[in-house]
Structure 1
């Protein structure tokens, strides 16, 4: 089963503020997001790791 992370969990993992993750999401530059509802963005751990590898390259 996939593990879904909150914005706060992703921010803690990447050591940035949650607002930074939100800005990335709004700009279309952050990890792929899955919306569980209009106000519940979630990130698959696998997608965050893939995104991190891509931007770190």
Structure 2
């Protein structure tokens, strides 16, 4: 089983060395991923609300 750090490195395609040398790049990738996730969630909620109004 992966620990959290290994999971993040795997998902954001960075090695341990890259993470240590470029922590801001890693932070930017995580932030972008999280922002996209929130935007998709909000769009889905809006579509669901609009669909309920039509029914």
* TM-score, normalising length: structure 2: 0.34
- Relative contact order: is structure 1 or structure 2 higher (C-alpha 8 Å, sep ≥ 6)? 1
Larger Rg: 2
* TM-score, normalising length: structure 1: 0.33
Of Structure 1 and Structure 2, which has the larger fraction of its residues in helix? 2
Of Structure 1 and Structure 2, which has the larger fraction of its residues in strand? 1
